[in-house]
Amino acid sequence: AQSVTQPDIHITVSEGASLELRCNYSYGATPYLFWYVQSPGQGLQLLLKYFSGDTLVQGIKGFEAEFKRSQSSFNLRKPSVHWSDAAEYFCAVVLTNDYKLSFGAGTTVTVRA
């Protein structure tokens, strides 16, 4: 079945430490890939996207993501987290012949001082 999987429901990280959030997808062809962040009481904000080309993409707020076709993965990373990065993060895909987003279940990130 077609799906987007975020294996980690909750991650706790110390401020200043690195962060990596995992995302795997299961589709016949490589879809367009996205990461969104949702802070409490707010809508989703687009962090970055991958359509084609360089497999390492840079986004806003110091985030980057790496596409690995062999692993059907699109993991999100940040070298040094700030307390303001505490939020819920969603990986999402759009099929190449479509426009609607399909989301993973999300990963909640807690940042401890």
Partner 1 sequence: DTGVSQNPRHKITKRGQNVTFRCDPISEHNRLYWYRQTLGQGPEFLTYFQNEAQLEKSRLLSDRFSAERPKGSFSTLEIQRTEQGDSAMYLCASSGPRTPRDQYFGPGTRLLVL
Strands 73-78 and 19-21: antiparallel
**Residue 92 contacts partner 1 per CB under 8 A:** yes
**Residue 111 contacts partner 1 per CB under 8 A:** no
**Residue 53 contacts partner 1 per CB under 8 A:** no
Range in contact with partner 1 (rule: CB under 8 A) among 13-21, 57-65, 79-87, 89-97: 89-97
Q: Rounded to an integer, what distance in angstroms lies between the CA atom of residue 11 and that of residue 22?
A: 11
What helix, strand, coil percent values describe the chain, rounded to 5?
10, 50, 40
78 burial type by CB count under 10 A (0-12 exposed, 13-18 middle, 19+ buried): buried
**Residue 11 contacts partner 1 per CB under 8 A:** no
Q: Which of 36, 40, 54, 97 binds partner 1 (CB under 8 A)?
A: 36
Asked if 93 contacts 4 with a C-beta cutoff of 8 angstroms, the reply is yes
Report the residue number, 92 or 109, with the smaller CB distance to partner 1: 92
Instruction: Name the phi and psi angles at 35, rounded to 5.
Output: -125, 130
Write each residue from 59 to 88 as x if it is in contact with partner 1 (CB under 8 A), else as -, in one continuous string. ------------------------------
Q: Which residues bind partner 1 (CB under 8 A)?
A: 4, 32, 36, 41-46, 49, 51, 90, 92, 94, 99-106
